[in-house]
């Protein structure tokens, strides 16, 4: 059985939704970041990065959301979560997910994790103040270059959709007005109505 380590209000949600979409058999294990559980020795033995998510598979341990999403799509091909027979189309999804991970998520992280990049309090404050601008620029790019229709990339639902949904749920917290990006907002609301998304959200926040 697969095992997903996650924390609430993190990008872990994307992989959780994809596992639900795939019909996978898996268990979830919540880490309390505020209580520093991600630095516990038992967890560090699983993921030395001390971050979430982590996916424990029969073949070994995976970290980094794009890798985990690709693994889920390839392990459960019957779910059709990626165009596995079309190298270019699959690469376009990987391109999109890589952008979310390396650019949008990093821009978001400057709001609460500036100490990853600087020690000076003024520098950290400056990074935090910049977040609405930098995150908005990312969503403007997505609004312009992706979302050709109902889905994030191409004509079909894919592993790009739960990832975009997850990061789009942070817009208001990042000081971004969702109404500026109608395609992103419509996608977010479409995703929120999906049963697999509702189940993942319920399970992540269940007592």
Per-residue confidence (pLDDT) for residue 113, from 0 to 100: 87
For residue 14 the two structure tokens come to: 């994307």
Identify which of 132, 146, 134 has the alpha carbon closest to the alpha carbon of residue 184: 146
Give me Rg for the CA atoms of the chain: 17
Identify which of 50, 63, 164 has the alpha carbon closest to the alpha carbon of residue 113: 50
For residue 63 the two structure tokens come to: 């970290």
C-alpha 38/C-alpha 7 separation (Å) is 9
Per-residue pLDDT of the chain (207 residues; tens, 9 = 90+): 999 999 999 999 999 999 999 999 999 999 999 999 999 999 999 999 999 999 999 999 999 999 999 999 999 999 999 999 999 999 999 999 999 999 999 999 999 987 889 999 999 999 999 999 999 999 999 999 999 999 999 999 999 999 999 999 999 999 999 999 999 999 999 999 999 999 999 999 987
pTM score:
0.97
In this structure, what are the phi and psi dihedrals at residue 28, rounded to the nearest 5 degrees? -120, 145
Q: Specify whether the CB–CB gap between 188 and 168 falls below 8 A.
A: yes
For residue 159 the two structure tokens come to: 């592993």
Q: What is the DSSP letter of 45?
A: T
C-alpha 61/C-alpha 191 separation (Å) is 28
Per-residue confidence (pLDDT) for residue 207, from 0 to 100: 75
Sequence-distant contacts of 200-205: CB under 8 A, at least 24 apart: 200/13, 200/16, 200/17, 200/19, 200/20, 201/13, 203/16, 203/28, 204/6, 204/8, 204/12, 204/13, 204/16, 204/28, 204/30, 205/8
For residue 61 the two structure tokens come to: 């341990």
């Amino acid at each position: 059985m697969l095992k997903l380590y996650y924390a609430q209000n993190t990008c872990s949600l994307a992989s959780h939704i994809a596992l639900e979409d795939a019909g996978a058999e898996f268990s979830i294990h919540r880490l309390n970041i505020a209580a520093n559980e991600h630095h516990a020795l038992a967890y560090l033995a699983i993921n030395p990065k001390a971050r979430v998510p982590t996916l424990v598979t029969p073949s070994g341990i995976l970290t980094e959301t794009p890798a985990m999403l690709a693994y889920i799509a390839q392990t459960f091909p019957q779910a059709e979560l990626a165009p596995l027979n079309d190298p270019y189309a699959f690469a376009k999804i990987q391109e999109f997910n890589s952008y979310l991970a390396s650019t949008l998520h990093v821009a978001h992280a400057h709001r609460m994790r500036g100490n990853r990049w600087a020690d000076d309090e003024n520098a950290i404050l400056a990074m935090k103040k910049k977040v609405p601008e930098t995150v908005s620029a990312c969503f403007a790019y997505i609004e312009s270059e992706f979302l050709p229709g109902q889905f994030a990339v191409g004509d079909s639902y894919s592993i790009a959709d739960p990832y975009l949904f997850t990061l789009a749920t942070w817009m208001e917290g990042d000081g971004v007005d969702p109404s500026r990006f109608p395609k992103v907002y419509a996608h977010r609301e479409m995703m929120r109505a999906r049963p697999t998304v509702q189940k993942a959200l319920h399970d992540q926040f269940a007592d």
